[in-house]
Structures are given as structure tokens and as C-alpha cells.
A and B are shown apart, each in its own frame.
Chain A
């Protein structure tokens, strides 16, 4: 496979469930990102990992927990979500973060519905 892949593509979960989203990039990039895309809103950056170190984003609720075990894989662990968390969750990767940020390439996204 090439590019950025995400699984699952669709997920329906109850508010008490625990689930995880997975992202894998095959581009040799060293930075990975989680975005949330809700209707009529701009893409919201949730988390950034550069060289497997996390850049904090304090505005993200603790019910979202990222994990980056290596430069090719990124997870988003979900627990006790709310219906307003229903959205498209996009993973992206790039060569750098910061002043030398290169183009970000996106995965296909996971469409999450919280009941």
C-alpha cells in the first residue's frame, strides 16, 4: 500500500464504548497529525507528532488520547465520547513540523458516529 491509510473507514459507537482509530503512513514522513472535520467548520488540528514526540494541544478533551509508537503509525484512542464528537477524523503526515513544514498528505478519514 502507498500513501496514508486509516482504519476503520466508518465507526459507530455508544457513549460508553472504547475504540481506537489507526493511521499508517508509507511515505517515509516524520510527522503525523490528527484532524477533526465537522460540517461547516474548518479542519481542527487535534494532535501533532514529530519524530514520535507529541506536541500538546490543550483544547482537545481528554476523552481523546493519541499514541504514536513509531514514525509510521498513529492511533487515536476514544472513550466516553459525546454525540458532538461525531465527525470525520483525518490523519495526515508530512516531512517536518515547524518552520520547515512540508506539504501534508491526508488519509481517507474515519467517519465516526457517536450514539
Chain B
């Protein structure tokens, strides 16, 4: 079983819609959860991190964490073409950082 799993996509949404990206993890003791955005040919850049159960909002982005279900998601409201990228979920188990394979998002104008 992989430590972090994401649907590879591609996920396509129309401009202005809500994009929902999902991630599950296997280590129940995981403590911190991160979402990175990676444009093609570029390095990952941090969007958000979350430590506690519930929602955390930052502008158009909302991270949701459910530790009981071992599930973390990222919602992007009012999606823009510039949001088209690969989104990487990362989990800190306390011993190591694990990344998912990423979900490719395309926002269609």
C-alpha cells in the first residue's frame, strides 16, 4: 500500500467552477499535511498546510482534513486557467515526508 494516494487525473473543470482534489494516507499517526502546486517544468511550491481536523481557508483555497478517515482534500473556488497544474499532496508521518504522485488539473476557459 502506498503511503499517500491521489487520483492522477486529469481533472478538468470549467473556469469559475470549484475544483476538488483528494488525497488519502496510510499512516494513522501522520501529523502534518501539505498541498503543493507544480507547474510543468517547475519545482513544487507550497499552497497550504493543515495540522488539525476540519477546514482551513486561504483565499480561494480550502484544505479539509479528516484524520479518522485518513483523508485530506483541497478545494479551489472560482477556478482560473492559471490554476492548471499538478497538485501534490504531502504527508509528514513524524519520521518522513511522503508525496503522492499528484493530480493534474486543467481549468478550461
Q: Which residues of A contact B (CB under 8 A)?
A: 33, 40-43, 45, 88, 90, 98-99, 101, 103-109
Contact = CB atoms under 8 A, between A and B. Distances in A.
A42 B46 contact: no
Interface residues of B, number: 25
Given A42-B4, A99-B31, A104 B43 contact: no
B43 A109 contact: yes
A108 B97 contact: no
B45 A106 contact: yes
A41 B99 CA distance: 10
The 6 residue pairs across chains A and B that have the minimum distance between CB atoms:
A43-B99, A106-B43, A99-B94, A101-B92, A42-B99, A42-B101
Interface in B3-50: 4, 8, 31-32, 34, 36, 42-46, 49
A103 B46 contact: yes
Contact of B43 (A33, A40, A107): A107
A109 B8 CA distance: 22
Contacts of B46: 103-105
